[in-house]
Structure 1
């Protein structure tokens, strides 16, 4: 079998760093590329066992996915890994017209032609925010309460892809015409290895896509073993193709540890504190608002971005230079600089910026790209002008714009900060940014501490596991 165990495409930026973290913490050295790599790109990295591409297909239409995914899958196929994973969110939120997981499976099967597509969504390892699948229905825990997903207070009301159907087989059947089956909890919980393999073969005989139930870590280990042993028995030249959340990564890595494929790693140590960092925040979530508030009360110097002017071509340059000057002044004074576009979902700046877009006759859907470009240019200018070598970017879309402006093409895991948003070492094609320490966080991500201290934890060097 190949030395490379797994290759993956993440359907959004922060979901990709989630896989980077989960594999790295479980003894699978992983490199995450921000662009489609060539096998030669791995030569600068040591002992890599998994490789990924950070994508953006979660927000794409089916036609856009048809343009993006075939080349990405072919790039991953060239690495000759045993499994290629299309990584999806553990809430499986998707729709026929936006981020269609079914469309991704259709494209993946055109490239890989897997005998079946295992879909592992259950992720009990994410406790206390665990994800569980029972008789094909997805449940998620929020603030100590476990909800069926169609009754989840957030995901059932998602503004783009609301999850109104918790039965994953029914939900996915709206996105693909392929036959969909389920290996349910009666098999996963009760059967010995041989009987479990027989049950899987029975389901695979009639279905091209197979979901797996999972309620606990023992189920997780069984599923990981079942899928990996299928790879070993199958003996195909092409990899097994899967569409799965990080539940697959936890399941496989635990099995690899149990069987000696990888070693149980030592817990990562702190990257150590630094005097100053730069934070570029583009998230308007309540969680991120609280983190901004905490930072401003704990020694960070805030710089509000004039987003209304930044989206105006006639005023953007001046607004950008003002933000850069303010950040450099804060750094000269010995502070960490926190630049932010909004302070929570009710910030009046959001409506003022949208109003300006309407006045300019610009589609409001372009706001993220317009602001992200400006935030990327601002971040680059600040880092070029200072000796700061640690940065945090808040917001998945913002991360996707800022990293390319730093010519970052790959990330390696250093230490956890918040679930799925670790502190990483960047590989950049620009020498000044090569080796930069960077944390890319989703707006909802927080540390495991009691305080809203994510930015402080980045400055302190991470939150090593106990």
Structure 2
């Protein structure tokens, strides 16, 4: 049976976030890592989410990987494509959201694609085209100091126009609140004006479900996981998917490891709470740069901790410390050293019986999953909005939670481990 919905996510945590949303809406979903081989098997999935590590990759690489994913999804019958990026529109003025969206739109022959990163459960809303994080506009939120994608503008039309070859219009909240037909009429008007994209306001989940209904016939949708809330019902109404299915998720039994590379305000608060309870060690990037075997040192430390306690290893730091490290080693080099260290630790400790991993940070999650050679994930129980447990399918039995840096309450790490039996 062909899949009906295909998704392309620009990082691994975003992919699990989206897969979690679709599962909660009753779809059978598989998350795959990278564009699958032509003969890849995905069982009886109705939706496949392809997780890429393309958010901060060179533009040409991000485009090529996204188009390869698109080609595979279309070959498997996907009727609709969702390009999933972060609910804080993480990107630079050069991309990669705009260039990838352009490439997908051109390849699919789409007149106009929607832009909606709203995720109200996590405080991301859009009004008059301005993206809010809680009560603050994006550019006044902690995202303004993100080490890789600092967000210095809150207006999604301006952000998209800076990156894209097309022009961007707005479908404002009053039209959204009039219902799906009003959204369709406004979309047609924007197409008639020659626009390529439409930012659409969303203040709550009711808006997102209305938008989903209006987008039933759109070939390409772009945004956060929230935009997917209303899509499964469209396929269900057409008889393209079956009734809600129960999962077969079974967590592995083993020691727990928390790896944090995110420097977000949320992750640092979560670490502060967890460190008051459990043993922890910090990656010393200067020692890594000096060539010391930090991986062996930290792996030995983790193995020596009490078996009934999670071990925390982190590289997260406040903006001042991050800036100082980047000044010493450069943005790219310092980030790569941290990713390489944490992913090597994941590999070393998974072999030592740490079978339950919580990973904080999109880039870190991508590095860890790649190092572990995980190709497919089954979605399990939700820990917090946008963050489920997952089970690696394949030769290495592992249970993983891949957390976007900005997601979760201060108790997230404790909450995560309480969810598992």
Matches within 5 A, 1:328-407: 328-331=303-306, 333-342=307-316, 344-345=317-318, 358=328, 363-386=330-353, 388-407=354-373
2:132 is aligned with 1:140:
yes
* Structure 2 residue 398 is matched with structure 1 residue 436: yes
From the superposition, tell whether residues 111 and 96 of structure 1 become closer, same or farther in structure 2 (CA, over 3 Å).
Answer: same
The answer to whether the aligner puts 1:425 opposite 2:407 as a matched pair is: no
Distance 1:147 1:133 in 2: 12
Q: How does 1:28-427 map to 2 (within 5 A)?
A: 28-38=27-37, 40-43=39-42, 45=43, 47-97=44-94, 99-123=95-119, 126-127=120-121, 129-134=123-128, 137-142=129-134, 146-150=135-139, 152-156=140-144, 158=146, 160-190=148-178, 193=181, 197-206=184-193, 207-228=195-216, 230=217, 240-256=219-235, 262=241, 265=244, 276-298=255-277, 300-313=278-291, 315-316=292-293, 319-331=294-306, 333-342=307-316, 344-345=317-318, 358=328, 363-386=330-353, 388-427=354-393
Q: 1:244 to 1:352 in 2, by over 3 A?
A: closer
2:37 & 2:29 partners in 1: Cα distance?
15
Match of 1:91, SS? coil
Deviation at residue 295 of structure 1 after TM alignment: 2.6
Paired residue secondary structure (1:379): helix
Structure (1 or 2) with the larger CA radius of gyration: 1
- Structure 2: which 5+ residue stretches go unaligned? none
In 1, Cα distance between equivalents of 2:148 and 2:318: 16
TM-score (norm 2): 0.86
What is the RMSD computed on CA atoms of the aligned residues? Answer: 3.2
**TM-score in terms of structure 1 length:** 0.79
* 8 Å contact from structure 1 (residues 114, 241) kept in 2: yes
Moved runs in structure 1, 4+ residues, more than 6 A?
266-275
- Structure 1: give runs of 5+ residues left out of the alignment: 232-239
- Structure 2 CA distance, aligned partners of 1:269 and 1:424? 11
Tell me how far 1:282 sits from its aligned partner: 2.0
Q: Identify if the C-alpha distance between structure 1 residues 273 and 420 changes in structure 2 by more than 3 Å, giving closer, same or farther.
A: same
Verify the 8 A CA contact 1:14 1:442 in the aligned structure 2: yes
